[in-house]
Structure 1
Amino acid sequence: MFNFFKKKQDNTFFLGAPVKGKAVDLKEVNDPTFSTGMLGQGVAIIPSEGKIYAPADGEIAMVFDTLHAVSMTADNGVEILVHVGLDTVELKGEGFEGHVKAGDKVKKGDLLLTVDLDAVKEAGYDTITPMLVCNTDDYAAVEGIFGKDVMPKDDVVSIKMK
Structure 2
Amino acid sequence: MCGEIRDLSDVPDDIFSTKIMGDGFMILPENGEVFSPVDGVVKNIFSTKHSIMIETKDKREILIHLGIDTVSLKGEGFEAFIDTGDIVDKGQLIAKMDLDFIKENNKSIAVPIIFTNLNEDEFIYFKTHKKVKACKENVVQIHKNK
When the two structures are superposed, what TM-score results if normalisation uses the length of structure 2?
0.93
Matches of 2:126 and 2:8, distance apart in 1: 8
Deviation at 1:144, TM superposition (A): 3.8
Runs of 4+ in 1 over 4 A off after TM superposition: none
Counterpart residue number, 1:49:
31
RMSD of aligned alpha carbons: 1.5
Counterpart residue number, 2:5:
23
Q: Is the 8 A contact 1:142 1:157 kept in 2?
A: yes
Counterpart residue number, 2:110:
128
Counterpart residue number, 1:156:
139
Of 18, 38, 44, the match for 1:62: 44
Of 125, 134, 138, the match for 1:143: 125
Deviation at 1:138, TM superposition (A): 5.8
**Percentage identity across paired residues of the two chains:** 36
Deviations 1:71-111 (A, max 9, x none): 01011111000001100000000011110001111110011
Opposite residue 76 of structure 1, the aligned amino acid is D
Counterpart residue number, 2:83:
101
- Structure 1, 103-112 or 152-161: larger mean CA deviation: 152-161
Matches of 1:101 and 1:161, distance apart in 2: 33
When the two structures are superposed, what TM-score results if normalisation uses the length of structure 1?
0.84
Deviation at 1:153, TM superposition (A): 1.6
Q: Is the 8 A contact 1:41 1:143 kept in 2?
A: no
- Structure 1, 130-139 or 90-99: larger mean CA deviation: 130-139
Counterpart residue number, 2:22:
40
Matches of 2:107 and 2:134, distance apart in 1: 22
| SS class of match (1:156) | coil
Q: Which runs of 5+ in 2 are unaligned?
A: none
Opposite residue 22 of structure 2, the aligned amino acid is G
Matches of 1:54 and 1:139, distance apart in 2: 26
Matches of 2:39 and 2:13, distance apart in 1: 28
Q: Is the 8 A contact 2:23 2:123 kept in 1?
A: no
The structure number with the bigger radius of gyration is 1
Matches of 2:62 and 2:12, distance apart in 1: 20
Deviations 1:11-65 (A, max 9, x none): xxxxxxxx11000010011111000110000110000110111010000000110
Aligned residue pairs, count: 144
